[in-house]
Amino acid sequence: MRIASYASVAVASLLIVAKLLVWFVTDSVAILSSLMDSVLDVGASAINMYAIAHALMPADREHRFGHGKAEALAGLAQAAFIGGSALFLVAEAGQRLVEPRPISRDEIGIAVMVFSLALTGGLVLFQLYVVRRTGSVAISADSMHYRADILANLGVILALVLAGRYGWLYADPLIALAVAAYIVQGAWQVGRVALDQLMDRELPEADRARIRDIALSHPMVEDVHDLRTRSSGSQSFIQLHLELDGDLSLHRAHDIADSVELRIGQAFPAAEVIIHQDPAGIEENHGQLLG
C-alpha cells in the first residue's frame, strides 16, 4: 500500500511537468484539463500517502479499533479535489466555446498524451494488484480516478487530432467538458465509498447473508441475531449473537463460538469477529434494525 501511494505521487508529478510544457506549446484547453487533473492527482495522492501511513498504524489505547478510517477521510479529500477540478474545467471550456482558439504543435501534444497513457496504465495495473491483495479503500479510490484519467487522455488525443489536424476548434472545449463530466462521476463514486465507511454502513447484503449461513451451518447453532457489520479502511468488523441450547456448559458454548468465529474469519480474512452466546428461546428486545 505504501509503495502504491509513493508511485501515484511520482507518476502524477512527472506528468505535471510534461503536460505543463506541452500546454505552453499547444495552448490547448483539453491539454489544460489534463494538466489540472494531474495537479489535483498529486494533491489527492499526497493526502493518500499520509492517510495510508496513518491507517497502517496498529491500534493503540486511544484508537482501539485501529486507524483505518484515515483512508475514508482521504477519500473525501480526494472527492473535493476532483470536484474542484471539474468546476475549473467547465469555466475554462465555456470560455473557449465562446472564443475558440486554434491548436498549435499538436504532434507534440499527442506524443506527450501517449506517454501519459502508458505511464498511467502501468500505475493502474499496479494499483489494481495492490487492491486485490489489501482491499484498501484509499488505493481503490486513487485507482478509480487514474482509470478515469486514461479515458480523459484518450479524449485529449482526439481533441488534438480534430482541432489541430482538421481545424474543428470546438472539439477542444467540448472534449474538455466531457472530461469534466468524467471527473464529476469519479468524485461522486470516491465520495460515496468514503462516506459509507465513515457512517459505518453495513457490508453488502450478500456478505451479511454469507455470514449468517456460515454461523447457521454449525450443527449446534439454532439461530443468529443482532448481526452488525462495518468497515474501517481495509479491515472489517463483524459482531453477532449465537442462539445455543441453554443447557450447554459455558466451556462448550465457548468452543462453539470459537469454531464459528474461525469459519467466518476464514471467509473474511480482513475481519475482526466478535461473537456473543445467548440461550435459545430467551426473549430479548433486539430492535427492528438488528438482523
What is the per-residue pLDDT for 280?
Answer: 87
Instruction: Classify residue 290: in a domain, yes or no.
Output: no
Nearest Cα to Cα of residue 32 among 101, 122, 121, 120? 101
Report the alpha-carbon distance of residue 171 to residue 190 in Å, rounded: 29
The mean per-residue pLDDT over the stretch 64-83 comes to 74
- Number of residues assigned to the chain: 291
> Packing angle between helix 69-98 and helix 137-160, nearest 10 degrees?
20
Residue 43: domain span: 2-198
> Does one domain contain both 174 and 243?
no
pTM of the model: 0.60
Contact partners, residue 259, CB within 8 Å, separation at least 6 = 218
Q: What is the CATH number of the domain that holds 234?
A: 3.30.70.1350
Domain limit, last residue, from 198, 226, 261 = 198
Residue where a domain terminates, one of 158, 180, 198: 198
Closest by CA position to 1, among listed 172, 149, 163, 127: 127
202-229 tens-digit pLDDT: 888 999 999 999 999 999 999 999 999 9
What is the number of domains present in the chain?
Answer: 2
What the block records as the C-alpha cell of 111 is 506524443
User: Which tens digit of pLDDT belongs to each residue from 78-132?
Assistant: 777 777 767 777 776 777 677 766 655 667 777 888 888 888 889 889 988 888 8
Residues 218, 173 share a domain: no
Q: Which of 141, 175, 198 is the last residue of a domain?
A: 198
HEC assignment per residue over 82-94: HHHHHHHHHHHHH
Helix (H) or strand (E) holding 141: helix 137-160
pLDDT of residue 166: 72
Q: Categorize the per-residue pLDDT at 233 as very low, low, confident or very high, splitting at 50, 70 and 90.
A: low
Nearest in space to 109 (alpha carbons), one of 158, 171, 169: 158
Give me the amino acid identity at 74: A
